[in-house]
Structure 1
Amino acid sequence: MDRAEIVHENFLRRVAAGDLPPGAAPVGPLSPTGAVSVFRSACLSRALDRQSRAMQKAGQGFYTIGSSGHEGLAAVAAALRPTDTAFLHYRDAAFQIARAAQVPGQSIAWDMLLSFASSSEDPISGGRHKVLGSKTLSIPPQTSTIASHLPKAVGAAYSIGAARRHRPEHQDLPDDSIVYCSFGDASANHSTAQGAFNTAAWTSYQSIPLPLLFVCEDNGIGISTKTPKGWIAANFAQRPGLKYFACNGLDIFETFRVATEAAAYVRGRKKPAFLHVGTVRLYGHAGADMPTTYMPREEVEAEEANDPLLHSVRLLGQAGALTPVEALAIYQDTCARVSRIAEEAVTRPRLKTARDVMESLIPPKRACKPTNGPSAEARASAFGGDLKAMEEPQIMSRLINWALTDLMLEHPEIALMGEDVGRKGGVYGVTQKLITRFGPDRVIDTLLDEQSILGLGIGMAQNGFIPMPEIQFLAYLHNAEDQLRGEAATLPFFSNGQYTNPMVVRIAGLGYQKGFGGHFHNDNSVAVLRDIPGLILACPSNGADAAMMLRECVRLAREEQRLVVFLEPIALYPMRDLHGEKDAGWIRLYPAGNEVIPFGEVGVHGDGTELAIVSFANGYYLSRQAEKRLAEKGVKARVIDMRWLSPLPADALIAAVKGAKRILIVDETRRTGGVAEALMALFTERTDLPHARITAKDSFIATGPAYAATMPSADGIYDAAMTLLGGKA
Structure 2
Amino acid sequence: MDRAAIVHENFLCRVAEGDFPAGSAPSGPLGDELAVSIFRSACLTRALDRESRAMQAAGQGYYTIGSSGHEGMAAVAAALRPSDMAFLHYRDAAFQIQRADRVPGQTIAWDMLLSFACSSEDPISGGRHKVLGSKALCIPPQTSTIASHLPKAIGAAYSIGLAKRRPPEFQTMPDDAIVMCSFGDASANHSTAQGAFNAAQWTSYQSVPLPLLFVCEDNGIGISTKTPSGWIRATFSNRPSLRYFSCDGLDIYETFRVVAEAADYVRTRRKPAFLHIRTIRLYGHAGADMPLTYLGREELEAEEANDPLLHMARQLSEAAALGSQEALSVYEATGARVKRIAAEVITRPRLQDASQVMASLIPPKRACRTGNGPDSEQRAEVFGSDVSVLDKPQPMVKIINMALTDLMLEHGEIVMMGEDIGRKGGNYGVTQKLWSRFGRDRVIDTLLDEQSILGLAIGMAHNGFVPMPEIQFLAYFHNAEDQLRGEAATLPFFSNGQFTNPMVVRISGLGYQKGFGGHFHNDNSLAVLRDIPGLILACPSNGRDAALMLRECVRLAREEQRLVVFLEPIALYPMRDLHEPGDGLWMTAYPEPGERIAMGQVGVHGDGTDLAIVTYANGAYLSHQASAVLAEQGVKVRIIDLRWLSPLPEDAIVEALGGCGAVLIVDETRRTGGLAEALMALVSERTALPHSRLTAEDSFIPTGPAYAATMPSRDSIIAAARQLLGKGE
Same fold (TM over 0.5): yes
Residue 338 of structure 1 is matched in structure 2 by 338
Aligned-residue Cα RMSD (Å) equals 0.6
Residue 592 of structure 2 is matched in structure 1 by 592
Where in structure 2 are the equivalents of 1:662-701 lying within 5 Å?
662-701=662-701
Q: In 2, Cα distance between the equivalents of 1:657 and 1:225?
A: 58
- Cα offset, 1:240, TM superposition: 0.6
Cα deviation 1:460-506 (Å, max 9, x = unaligned): 00100000000000000001000000000000000000000000000
SS in 2 for 1:142: coil
SS in 2 for 1:384: helix
Residue 655 of structure 2 is matched in structure 1 by 655
Q: In 1, Cα distance between the equivalents of 2:169 and 2:206?
A: 28
Q: What amino acid is the match of 2:694?
A: I
- Cα offset, 1:728, TM superposition: 6.5
SS in 1 for 2:140: strand
Cα deviation 1:432-457 (Å, max 9, x = unaligned): 00000000010000000000000000
Q: What amino acid is the match of 1:250?
A: L
Residue 117 of structure 1 is matched in structure 2 by 117
Residue 644 of structure 1 is matched in structure 2 by 644
Give 5+ residue unaligned stretches, structure 1. none
SS in 1 for 2:478: helix
Where in structure 2 are the equivalents of 1:74-89 lying within 5 Å?
74-89=74-89
Q: In 1, Cα distance between the equivalents of 2:391 and 2:641?
A: 26
Residue 396 of structure 1 is matched in structure 2 by 396
Residue 350 of structure 2 is matched in structure 1 by 350
Residue 416 of structure 2 is matched in structure 1 by 416
Q: In 1, Cα distance between the equivalents of 2:553 and 2:104?
A: 40
Q: In 2, Cα distance between the equivalents of 1:179 and 1:145?
A: 19
Q: In 1, Cα distance between the equivalents of 2:324 and 2:673?
A: 63
Q: In 1, Cα distance between the equivalents of 2:725 and 2:115?
A: 58
Residue 577 of structure 2 is matched in structure 1 by 577
- Cα offset, 1:130, TM superposition: 0.2
Q: What amino acid is the match of 1:115?
A: S
Q: TM-score, normalised by structure 1?
A: 1.00
Q: In 1, Cα distance between the equivalents of 2:378 and 2:510?
A: 35
Q: In 1, Cα distance between the equivalents of 2:677 and 2:61?
A: 39
Residue 476 of structure 2 is matched in structure 1 by 476
Q: In 1, Cα distance between the equivalents of 2:550 and 2:375?
A: 20
Which 4+ stretches in 1 moved above 3 angstroms? none
- Cα offset, 1:594, TM superposition: 1.5
SS in 2 for 1:65: coil
Q: In 2, Cα distance between the equivalents of 1:101 and 1:533?
A: 36
SS in 1 for 2:245: strand
Q: What amino acid is the match of 2:284?
A: G
Residue 532 of structure 2 is matched in structure 1 by 532
Does residue 275 (structure 1) correspond to residue 275 (structure 2)? The answer is yes
Residue 624 of structure 2 is matched in structure 1 by 624
Residue 553 of structure 1 is matched in structure 2 by 553
- Cα offset, 1:391, TM superposition: 2.3
Q: In 2, Cα distance between the equivalents of 1:293 and 1:166?
A: 55
Q: In 2, Cα distance between the equivalents of 1:321 and 1:441?
A: 50
Residue 568 of structure 2 is matched in structure 1 by 568
Cα deviation 1:217-271 (Å, max 9, x = unaligned): 0000000000000000011000111000000000000000000000000001000
Q: What amino acid is the match of 1:46?
A: R
Residue 193 of structure 1 is matched in structure 2 by 193
- Paired-residue identity, %: 76
SS in 2 for 1:130: coil
- Cα offset, 1:682, TM superposition: 0.4
Q: What amino acid is the match of 2:709?
A: A
Residue 137 of structure 1 is matched in structure 2 by 137
Where in structure 2 are the equivalents of 1:237-636 lying within 5 Å?
237-636=237-636
Q: In 2, Cα distance between the equivalents of 1:728 and 1:525?
A: 31
Q: What amino acid is the match of 1:478?
A: H
Q: TM-score, normalised by structure 2?
A: 1.00
Q: In 1, Cα distance between the equivalents of 2:316 and 2:570?
A: 65
Residue 30 of structure 1 is matched in structure 2 by 30
Q: In 2, Cα distance between the equivalents of 1:728 and 1:620?
A: 23
Q: In 2, Cα distance between the equivalents of 1:391 and 1:402?
A: 11
Q: What amino acid is the match of 2:604?
A: V
SS in 2 for 1:363: coil
Q: In 1, Cα distance between the equivalents of 2:359 and 2:394?
A: 42
Q: What amino acid is the match of 2:689?
A: L
- Cα offset, 1:416, TM superposition: 0.4
SS in 1 for 2:133: strand
Cα deviation 1:31-58 (Å, max 9, x = unaligned): 0111000000000000000000000000
Q: In 2, Cα distance between the equivalents of 1:209 and 1:145?
A: 28
Q: What amino acid is the match of 2:98?
A: A
Cα deviation 1:189-231 (Å, max 9, x = unaligned): 0000000000011111111000000000000000000000000
SS in 2 for 1:133: coil
Cα deviation 1:603-624 (Å, max 9, x = unaligned): 0110100100000000110011
Q: In 1, Cα distance between the equivalents of 2:69 and 2:145?
A: 19
SS in 2 for 1:245: strand
- Cα offset, 1:371, TM superposition: 1.3
- Cα offset, 1:515, TM superposition: 1.1
Q: In 1, Cα distance between the equivalents of 2:273 and 2:446?
A: 21
Q: In 1, Cα distance between the equivalents of 2:381 and 2:244?
A: 46
Q: In 2, Cα distance between the equivalents of 1:210 and 1:262?
A: 14
Q: In 1, Cα distance between the equivalents of 2:105 and 2:425?
A: 51
Does residue 16 (structure 1) correspond to residue 10 (structure 2)? The answer is no
Q: What amino acid is the match of 2:315?
A: L
Residue 59 of structure 1 is matched in structure 2 by 59
Number of residue-to-residue matches in the alignment: 729
Give 5+ residue unaligned stretches, structure 2. none
Q: What amino acid is the match of 1:678?
A: A
Q: What amino acid is the match of 2:136?
A: T
Cα deviation 1:83-121 (Å, max 9, x = unaligned): 000000000000000000011111000000000000000
